[in-house]
């Protein structure tokens, strides 16, 4: 997980997403294209992966590391293709109305309310009745309440464990409903008070969910601890590594043997959604390779392409052809097709420049800073294990 966090931070500091994907991705299908996937909708991948992808708000946003059964993923949103709004909204509205009309929803909500009232120590202080209704009507009609009412705006109407709601809170709520008469049409004061009490109960429960839901409290604590660790990592490692230009160059020079290009080629790698698209694209490219970007754009989301220097294992096909030719097409298990156009061959290994290796150097330098930091923490705060207690724990 620390490596995934380090890679994400390197991206935030300007490292190339595609280059890091080619270096660190374990997905044999997408790493060749710098991590680019064909467009997808709901049901293509596992639920958690899709939820993470669709939670990204705008093009270019980067997700936090997400763990699936296949390992950690860092997702970058390239382009969102919206579902037709009219049809989608109509279906959504119909579903909402069906759910609201289902009597099981009302029963479930009522049972939930009873549970909440019990757990939050709800107590009614002024019973619903004519005394309260007369006072309420006086306020709504801007009249002076009767002197014998025995209640005022500061009188406690009901309360939960550590929060009280006054008659003034209730009349303010009641007054606010004047602007939306449809909500109160045909309802008595008693029915409206029930709605107010229900709304405040759910609001109070939500605000104190940590207290009443142990699983949620554990999640919140984990989130806080994670945020604390993230903040410390950012201060001690990520920001230091990104800002320390001299340190990065010194680290690069000291470990330059680790940053070499293996034999490969300067190439353009194409990924098409299916065989038909791949064949049509290659036919266009054979006529005019100079305008390959325009050709790719004409296919919309059906085709992606990435250009740059690649190592042999990153280039699709069984063998590397001479410069100016296409590799054999490779059909993936999902029926997408990859092929490459070779611009220039590199038959021997060669050192990377600092700029070419920058993303890798930042990541490795962060790892070194992290290891030194952890070693310092262990020295300052030694951990002592009670062996007797440890052995008594269930296996």
Residue 365 lies in a domain: no
Which residues, other chains included, contact 284 with Cβ-Cβ below 8 Å and sequence gap of 6+? 295
CATH label of the domain that carries residue 51: 3.10.50.40
Neighbours of 16 (CB within 10 A): 16
- Tens digit of each residue's pLDDT (9 = 90 or more) over 81-106: 776 555 567 777 777 777 777 778 77
Buried b (16+ CB within 10 A) or exposed e, 244-258: eeeebeebbeeeeee
Which residues, other chains included, contact 149 with Cβ-Cβ below 8 Å and sequence gap of 6+? 131, 134, 135
Taking the C-alpha atoms of residue 336 and residue 303, their distance in angstroms, rounded to an integer, is 10
Query: Which whole number is the average pLDDT over 167-188?
Result: 83
Same domain, 57 and 152: no
Number of domains in the chain: 3
Query: Residue 235: is its pLDDT beyond 90?
Result: no
Same domain, 337 and 299: yes
CATH label of the domain that carries residue 323: 3.10.50
For residue 22, the enclosing domain spans: 1-77
Query: Residue 177: is its pLDDT beyond 90?
Result: no
Same domain, 111 and 202: yes
Domain finish residue from 171, 190, 210: 210
pTM for this structure?
Answer: 0.48
Residue 235 lies in a domain: no
Residue 378 lies in a domain: no
Same domain, 119 and 206: yes
Residue 88 lies in a domain: no
- Tens digit of each residue's pLDDT (9 = 90 or more) over 134-158: 888 888 888 887 766 688 899 999 9
Q: What is the mean pLDDT of the chain?
A: 86
Same domain, 37 and 116: no
Question: Tokens at residue 165, please?
Answer: 């709601």
Residue 333 lies in a domain: yes
Q: 193 and 173 in contact (C-beta within 8 Å)? A: no
Same domain, 184 and 281: no
CA dist 343 to 1, 244, 324, 327, Å?
Answer: 37, 36, 6, 11
Taking the C-alpha atoms of residue 312 and residue 262, their distance in angstroms, rounded to an integer, is 8
Query: Residue 108: is its pLDDT beyond 90?
Result: no
Same domain, 41 and 111: no
Same domain, 66 and 112: no
Same domain, 73 and 118: no
Same domain, 6 and 72: yes
Residue 218 lies in a domain: no
Query: Residue 159: is its pLDDT beyond 90?
Result: yes
Same domain, 116 and 61: no
Residue 98 lies in a domain: no
Q: 234 and 9 in contact (C-beta within 8 Å)? A: yes
Neighbours of 307 (CB within 10 A): 17
Same domain, 67 and 123: no
Residue 194 lies in a domain: yes
Residue 88, pLDDT score: 65
């Amino acid at each position: 997980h620390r490596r995934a966090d380090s890679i994400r931070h390197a991206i935030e500091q300007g490292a190339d997403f595609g280059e890091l994907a080619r270096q660190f991705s374990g997905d044999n299908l997408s790493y060749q294209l710098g991590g680019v996937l064909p467009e997808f909708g709901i049901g293509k991948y596992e639920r958690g992966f899709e939820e993470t992808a669709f939670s990204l708000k705008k093009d270019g946003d980067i997700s936090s590391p997400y763990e699936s059964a296949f390992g950690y993923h860092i997702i970058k949103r390239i382009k969102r293709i919206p579902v037709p709004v009219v049809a989608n909204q109509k279906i959504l509205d119909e579903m909402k109305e069906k759910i609201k009309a289902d009597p099981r929803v009302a029963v479930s909500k009522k049972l939930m309310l009873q549970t909440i009232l019990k757990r939050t120590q709800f107590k009614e202080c002024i019973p619903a009745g004519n005394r309260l209704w007369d006072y309420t009507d006086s306020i709504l009609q801007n009249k002076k309440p009767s002197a014998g009412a025995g209640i005022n705006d500061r009188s406690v109407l009901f309360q939960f464990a550590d929060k009280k709601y006054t008659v003034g809170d209730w009349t303010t709520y009641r007054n606010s409903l004047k602007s939306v008469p449809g909500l109160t049409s045909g309802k008595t004061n008693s029915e409206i008070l029930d709605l107010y009490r229900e709304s405040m109960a759910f609001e109070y429960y939500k605000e104190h969910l940590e207290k009443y839901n142990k699983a949620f409290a554990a999640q919140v604590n984990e989130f806080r601890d994670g945020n604390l660790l993230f903040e410390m990592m950012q201060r001690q490692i990520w920001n230091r590594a990104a800002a320390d230009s001299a340190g990065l160059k010194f680290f690069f020079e000291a470990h330059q043997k680790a940053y070499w290009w293996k034999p490969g080629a300067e190439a353009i790698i194409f990924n098409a959604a299916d065989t038909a698209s791949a064949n049509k694209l290659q036919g266009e490219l054979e006529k005019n390779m100079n305008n390959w970007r325009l050709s790719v754009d004409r296919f919309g989301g059906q085709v992606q392409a990435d250009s740059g220097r690649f190592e042999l294992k990153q280039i699709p096909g069984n063998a590397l052809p001479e410069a100016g030719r296409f590799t054999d097409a490779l059909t993936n298990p999902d029926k997408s097709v990859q092929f490459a156009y070779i611009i220039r061959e590199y038959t021997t290994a060669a050192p990377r420049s600092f700029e070419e290796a920058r993303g890798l150097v930042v990541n490795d330098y962060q790892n070194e800073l992290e290891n030194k930091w952890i070693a310092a923490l262990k020295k300052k705060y030694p951990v002592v294990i009670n062996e007797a207690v440890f052995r008594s724990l269930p296996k």
